[in-house]
Amino acid sequence: MNRILIIEDEVKTANSIKQGLEENSFLTETAYDGNSGLRLARKGNYDLIICDVILPGQNGKEICRSLRAEQIHTPVLMLTALNSVSDKLEGFDSGVDDYLSKPFEFRELLARVRALLKRHPQIVQTATILKCADLELNLDTRKAVRSGRTIDLTLKEFALLEYFMQHANRVLSKAELAERVWGIDFDTGTNVIEVYVNYLRKKLEAEGAPRLIHTEFGMGYILKDQA
């Protein structure tokens, strides 16, 4: 039975989510502020965390950033009334797996919970170092190196590059990238995929390095060595 941590300072909302999840056979624990939520997340063996953005103490993004820095990769579904693209980009960079905008219907929350649990655990790694041309990605140390040059990546940039390298030489559609890297219900109508691909390209192609991520117009993107 899956265990879910709910971090939400609005008691009525927290209790409503708790009741709904337990009626659907999930085990739940609840924290009503960011500090106690982080403590529980650190020591509890949870399958999923549902977390509000705005909380007393540490906010939701700070909680997520702390967990990822400690190599705790429990999926996080963030509840938010902040719906701008920049807010979501900041959240994804902190390690958030999916967003749900307030107000929401419980059936949508339940669908997103099930989708995230289905994705976790994610792809089983068969190698700790992925390689393409002169680019290496170390999955243990979370480091990217190209021709001896260390590349500084955000959490979401790393996740996107990891997926590209796991599927090198195959065209990846925007819909697939959105589902596998951002979450199945991510809004592909935004330009977030393009934004992050451009971020990666700039970092990978610094100092005149050849392009590795190529656009296949009308289809998506492909990581390949054209040498």
pTM above threshold 0.85: no
pLDDT value at 18 more than 90 = yes
Q: Which two tokens stand for residue 152?
A: 């500084």
Average pLDDT in the 23-48 region?
90
Which pLDDT belongs to residue 198?
95
Q: What are 97-110's pLDDT values in tens digits?
A: 888 888 899 999 99
Q: What is the DSSP string of 17-68?
A: HHHHHHHTT-EEEEESSHHHHHHHHHHS--SEEEEESS-SSS-HHHHHHHHH
Distance CA 115, CA 161 (A): 22
Q: Which two tokens stand for residue 135?
A: 């680019």
pLDDT value at 123 more than 90 = no
